């Protein structure tokens, strides 16, 4: 149960580095390593600046955890309240003490044994 609470409340990021259409590196919590083909600096050619198009892309997937752990009972809909009340009632009713054990065979004696059946069937416990 503690692991489920920890996983549901934890936020984390997944970073991916693509070179063209190929996934080069992916990392959890940290920045993904580059393939070394990043082209971010401008090149000076004959007095004018020309930017080369970068073939690499970085993708970041952020997964947010749950911030609020306590859900109040009054925010539930009527159907949800009925389900919760039914579950609580059925759980509590399992632990009720029964004072009397109603049995209908207490007043009747067992039948008389005429023959010993295990001898007739010749089945003995060994």
Dihedral angle sign, alpha carbons of residues 112, 114, 119, 123:
negative
pLDDT for position 45: 52
Q: What CA–CA distance (Å, rounded) separates 94 from 70?
A: 27
Are the beta carbons of 45 and 28 closer than 8 angstroms? no
Q: What CA–CA distance (Å, rounded) separates 5 from 18?
A: 33
15-74 pLDDT, tens per residue? 998 888 888 888 887 877 777 776 655 554 555 555 566 688 888 888 888 777 666 667
Residue 56: how many CB atoms within 10 A of its CB?
16
The confidence band for 117, taking pLDDT boundaries of 50, 70 and 90, is confident
Q: What CA–CA distance (Å, rounded) separates 117 from 119?
A: 5
Dihedral angle sign, alpha carbons of residues 69, 74, 75, 78:
positive
């Amino acid at each position: 149960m503690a692991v489920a609470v920890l996983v549901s409340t934890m936020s984390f990021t997944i970073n991916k580095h693509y070179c063209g259409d190929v996934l080069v590196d992916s990392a959890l919590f940290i920045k993904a390593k580059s393939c070394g083909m990043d082209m971010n600096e401008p090149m000076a050619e004959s007095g004018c600046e020309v930017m080369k198009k970068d073939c690499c892309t970085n993708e970041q997937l952020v997964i947010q955890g749950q911030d609020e752990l306590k859900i109040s009972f009054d925010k539930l809909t009527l159907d949800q309240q009925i389900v919760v009340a039914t579950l609580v009632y059925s759980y509590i009713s399992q632990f009720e003490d029964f004072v009397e054990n109603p049995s209908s065979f207490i007043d009747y004696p067992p039948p008389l044994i005429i023959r010993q059946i295990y001898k007739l069937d010749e089945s003995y416990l060994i």
